[in-house]
Structure 1
């Protein structure tokens, strides 16, 4: 996926967080190819701080990429300053991630 498509996905997630007032996100990166350094920088310094500041986003369940370069790039994002406001848990499969998020969700 090119940079415009990559950023569109994250803008869509941001819109969903705003519209639904959701606070929990599950991201499955298993098939994701490495994002560009510019897109990682954008996630770290623009997208994540904005979303943390403007939404209820508080928890994320992450299924890491199979591609080691992608894992390394996403690891940078999960350790950036804005990510400190988020609780993250890593999983190898979707079902345990969903169970964890459901255990947090309170109506």
Structure 2
């Protein structure tokens, strides 16, 4: 099991084999994706916990670290675009997403397909490292 200790300014909210969901005291949720096969059940469980954290905390910004994330399958891409993101925007006030780009080209292209298909007022931007991503999230 990975070491799940976090700095004092972060709090682990949820963890499964695919992701760790962390609340940061600067006012954003960070998703750390683990290098493993993306199973639908794990992906949807992680995203449902992100939504729960957005709703419970009033946080509206997410930093999603895709560096180690494997490609998301088309059915899950469809679910994100047509189900989860609209609910997160409507129910959780989700307004801003910083994505640290995946090392894997197929994963990066899958993420682009999702974000380019969104019909919500969600601001999305891509970054190469966490410092840039956090800076963008916190400027608004």
Q: Is TM (by shorter chain) over 0.5?
A: yes
Richer in strand (by share):
2
Richer in helix (by share):
1
The CA RMSD over aligned residues, in Å, is 1.2
C-alpha distance in 1, partners of 2:49/2:69? 17
In the other structure, the counterpart of 1:74 is 111
Per-residue Cα deviation, 1:1-30 (whole angstroms, up to 9, x for no partner): 311001111111111110111111100101
1:55 to 87, 92, 107: 92
Count of residue pairs brought into register by the alignment:
103
Unaligned 5+ runs, structure 1: none
Higher relative contact order, chain-length normalized (CA < 8 Å, sep 6+): 1
Q: CA deviation at 1:81?
A: 3.3
TM superposition score normalised by structure 1:
0.89
Q: CA deviation at 1:61?
A: 0.7
2:57 paired with 1:20: yes
Per-residue Cα deviation, 1:22-78 (whole angstroms, up to 9, x for no partner): 111100101000111111111111111111111211111111111111111111111
Q: Runs of at least 4 residues of structure 1 off by over 3 A?
A: none
1:91 to 127, 131, 136: 127
Q: CA deviation at 1:93?
A: 0.3
